[in-house]
Structure 1
């Protein structure tokens, strides 16, 4: 006579009460193990048939889910739940100490074994001021400690300068060592191309003294107008004076300073650094005009490749046929006022 072996089961079934061998006609009630939920409300029974096989069952066991704490959901790739037996591992960034369990497991009842831990900033002892100097904290400090990430500035009694100016509480729990206060001077400041030094005495300067620059007429100052004597004995970076541009066409119309003007009416022919000039090109297929912008960059104003300068006769006798005067291409009509055609 045939017998049945142990019933087949998948993960989640309770196999603790199953035997190795069953006789024909014996029945088994299938149940889900702890931490799993059955797919049917009624118990499922299977029996051993004369063929030595088990009857079919539609019972499925799915793991119970634990809700992922809201604070951790941004790290869970969009998931809001984790299945039974899942493990969350916790670590803190450098400069922070973990307070609590470093892992938590999803239990059979849908709760976590441990709450998420806290990451507390590392403490540092209060920094020491430099000899002949003091410390200026970015934030008010109370007690005898600072925390990781807090920073401060070292200052020395004039005219001395600190060998470095900034300090902080570091990830290993140590504070920056105090700098050395020493006398520092910067050389006589030098001029800049196309600019001048304003209101300055030509002498050596001490730490944190400043000199101010300005540009010649029509040049644009780029950078900080003031340069400062640094603790290294060098000046901070000086500004640069950027040159104006000439609009390099003899005939045509441009859009500049919110006006559509003929090039002959641009007097003087000069635009400043970073100012924008719009040229007009012809769409030959559609027989319409379209604007192309160009920016003055330190004396250079590129002419768009599509721009074709008209001849003298066309410019003087038929100005209304130029790309700037005909209908603008549908997708590129600029929101700009129009001016009367240039007289011949």
Structure 2
């Protein structure tokens, strides 16, 4: 009695039938379940599969001589077959067994209508095969003061089609000229507008120059290009454009001094390539006027922000205070002192000859270069010969000058004669013409 109660308790926990005394519980059964059957002569177990699975092997096993008869069955997934064909698209799946999934895709230019997947269920593939229809974009609303595009072919806008807008005269297109029908069925951009847009140029920034964009009125998207004058740097954009609101955007730039204004004036000096404003790191070179000497640096550099590395130089007047001991001759001009660069000309009295250069220059304070010459007495005989030669040279020069005058006079007479001959010829031609005309007009 106690044994029977124990066996019944084991049966309640699903191990095996209370009547099964000799056989161990069957092996585990995946994707299904089993139940025990009582009979008078044998002990039996029946197997069943879960929904979506099909049993393979004997459905029933019997306990005989402490062993279960036959091989335990297995539950294999059901198959759903072909998930269906989709026109202008394709299906993507790896299995058609129970629990698998197939996804559908459309080719470029088509959009999927319906669910993009099906599941393999116990009763077969779920749902319906979707369809791929051509991508369409909505019709375009008409725009004012312009032309609204229509499809080049067909009755609707398809993927890849481009709508091109244009405006009536005196109106400008604000926005994209071309918009495209995309794969999502939406337009690539919002349609443009046709507007009458004009911008009056703003006040020209101080210390700037206009490179392009001259005019009293500019149209939409026309631009003004600025540049700053020499020595000024730009803050802001060099290009401003006439915007949709009939104003230039962005605001005009500012030209701020980055170099240096002209340094303080240096008297009696000149500047190489003088200008009112110098750029950063630009070199200013000074030179003193004639008669003045430079004190300080002849070159200063603009450091920027109106600062120089050194102060400008100064030019001091230079004198040559020289007591020249020049005997038997003359100095021209004769002064007590000379300025820098001034020339002194030397000449000797009659009977004396100059030895050395006949000119000297004041090159620096109290210095002449070359040194003044001397007047050396000449031998009287040699002097007579020299005077004779000078007289001959003077006569020859006078003769040549007279000859030149005679030649020039002859040329003038020849020109007058040729002119008179030309005028006489002209008079003869006119007289002949008059005579011939008189003969033609007289009665025969």
Larger Rg, first or second structure (1 or 2): 2
Q: Which has the higher contact order (CA 8 A, sep 6+)?
A: 1
Question: Which has a greater percent of helix?
Answer: 2
> If the TM-score is normalised by the length of the shorter chain, which range does it land in?
0.3 to 0.5
TM-score normalised by L of structure 2: 0.34
